[in-house]
Amino acid sequence: MNEQLELLVRLQAIDHAVHKLNASRTDLEAEIKKTRDDFAREAEDFNRLNQELEESKKNLRSEERTLQQAGDNLAHYEKKIYSVKSQKEMEAVDHEIKAAREEKGKLEESILYLFEAIDKLSAKVKAEEEILSQARVKLEKGEKNYKKQLAQINKSLKFDKVERENIVGSVRPDTLSLYEKLRINRNNLAVTSILGGACGGCFMTLPPQVVNEVKPNSSIIRCQSCTRILYWDGKEE
Ligand SMILES: [Zn+2]
């Protein structure tokens, strides 16, 4: 094979591998981002529910204190009724007792409601805690896998970079510039083999004469349609 053509075939193989590695890295980053986002969302849900629960417990404590006061208040008037001196005073204390009982009743109802709400919230917090714990396990696994795979990809990329530099150093400048121009304009594929008598890049059928010219791989011949560099890989006769 023509030395320059052979270098270009090798260069193309490396660039193809680099392209695939970069795509894998993008996928890997998207995957870990999703796992991280999922975890962050579950953590947020858990914190919100937990905060709601704490708030309800605080309310309950406050209502219980108020109930205690209301109870003391009622006891005070219930005691006072034995020492009233007049009918008018009796009516006033009676009125206070009614009001205190009503308030106590309302508070008891409110406390009951809070107890129920706390029960429901506690169950929700517990369920969300389980979900969060699963998301954490998934995240930890994901981070480990991400780190491992990223290291492998970066290692391969580093290896390919060195290999590429070695090859590039031997390619003639005009040939290299043609290759780079084609690679940029032709979707990262500048050099292609012939497949079934057609260009492996644009799939346009090549004139038999062009196929015959390409077969010995003795010079740089380009597809008349897409201008990619053609070579014969010997896989078909
Ligand atoms: Zn073509």
Please give the distance, rounded to the nearest whole angstrom, from the Cα atom of residue 10 to the centre of ligand 1. 19
Please give the distance, rounded to the nearest whole angstrom, from the Cα atom of residue 230 to the centre of ligand 1. 8
Q: Are 188 and 16 in contact (CB under 8 A)?
A: yes
> CB within 5 A of ion ligand 1: which residues?
199, 201-202, 223, 225-226
Please give the distance, rounded to the nearest whole angstrom, from the Cα atom of residue 229 to the centre of ligand 1. 8
Closest by alpha carbon to 81, among 71, 94, 100, 66?
94
Give me Rg for the CA atoms of the chain.
Answer: 40
Q: Which run of H or of E encompasses 221?
A: strand 221-222
**% of residues, the chain, pLDDT over 70:** 99
Q: What is the rounded CA–CA span in Å between residue 138 and residue 144?
A: 10
Please give the distance, rounded to the nearest whole angstrom, from the Cα atom of residue 187 to the centre of ligand 1. 12
Q: Are 179 and 190 in contact (CB under 8 A)?
A: yes
Please give the distance, rounded to the nearest whole angstrom, from the Cα atom of residue 203 to the centre of ligand 1. 6
Provide the pLDDT for residue 112. Answer: 97
Q: What is the rounded CA–CA span in Å between residue 34 and residue 17?
A: 26
Where b means 16+ CB within 10 Å and e means fewer, 88-121 reads eeeeebeebbeebeebbeebeeebeebeeebeeb
Residues of the chain with pLDDT under 70: 237
**% of residues, the chain, pLDDT over 90:** 98
User: Which amino acid, one-letter code, is at 193?
Assistant: S
Where b means 16+ CB within 10 Å and e means fewer, 153-163 reads beeeeeebeeb
Please give the distance, rounded to the nearest whole angstrom, from the Cα atom of residue 7 to the centre of ligand 1. 20
Please give the distance, rounded to the nearest whole angstrom, from the Cα atom of residue 17 to the centre of ligand 1. 21
Provide the pLDDT for residue 237. Answer: 59
Residue extent(s) of CATH 1.10.287.1490 domains in the chain: 27-171
Please give the distance, rounded to the nearest whole angstrom, from the Cα atom of residue 201 to the centre of ligand 1. 5
CA distances from 74 to 65, 89, 95, 135 (A): 14, 16, 11, 52
Please give the distance, rounded to the nearest whole angstrom, from the Cα atom of residue 154 to the centre of ligand 1. 32
Please give the distance, rounded to the nearest whole angstrom, from the Cα atom of residue 198 to the centre of ligand 1. 8
Please give the distance, rounded to the nearest whole angstrom, from the Cα atom of residue 175 to the centre of ligand 1. 18
pLDDT digits (tens, 9 = 90+) for 13-70: 999 999 999 999 999 999 999 999 999 999 999 999 999 999 999 999 999 999 999 9
Helix runs in the chain, H state only = 3-80, 87-168, 173-185, 208-214
Please give the distance, rounded to the nearest whole angstrom, from the Cα atom of residue 227 to the centre of ligand 1. 6
Please give the distance, rounded to the nearest whole angstrom, from the Cα atom of residue 179 to the centre of ligand 1. 14
> Is CATH 1.10.287.1490 what the domain over 27-171 is classified as, yes or no?
yes
Please give the distance, rounded to the nearest whole angstrom, from the Cα atom of residue 231 to the centre of ligand 1. 11
**Residue 169 phi, psi (nearest 5):** -60, -20
